[in-house]
Amino acid sequence: KIINIASIAGFVAFANSLAYCSAKGGVILLTKEMALDYAVNKININAIAPGVITTNMTKQLLDDKQTSDGLLKNIPVGRFGVPEDIAYLATYLASFESDYVTGQTFVVDGGWTIQ
């Protein structure tokens, strides 16, 4: 099992994030291509595309109240994600229970991209 980490930035554009969005979009297609190429070897390859998750990477953004409030307005469930939201999905994707799942990107964003 291979689990790539993409981002919602691979699906939607963010201002001044050309390289990051392009790279994450590339991870999404890389996941599909790898899954197709390695299925014959019984290797499952999927990706997780997190939204805003409270981590060291987002700490500076989320510490700014104005930025934090602006981001939160885009999340229908009304909260930022926590690392466990990603970990539980990764556990499933790494398990035998996901043996028939390959080439997919799972968005974990509290609903950001459904709008």
- Residue 20 annotated to the active site: yes
Q: Which position among 20, 38, 88, 100 bears the catalytic label?
A: 20
The Cα 65–Cα 49 span in angstroms is: 24
Over the Cα atoms of the chain, what is R_g? 15
Distance CA 64, CA 102 (A): 38
Q: Where do runs of H (alpha helix) occur along the chain?
A: 18-38, 59-63, 65-72, 83-94
Query: CB count, 10 Å around CB of 27?
Result: 18
Residues with a catalytic annotation lie at: 20
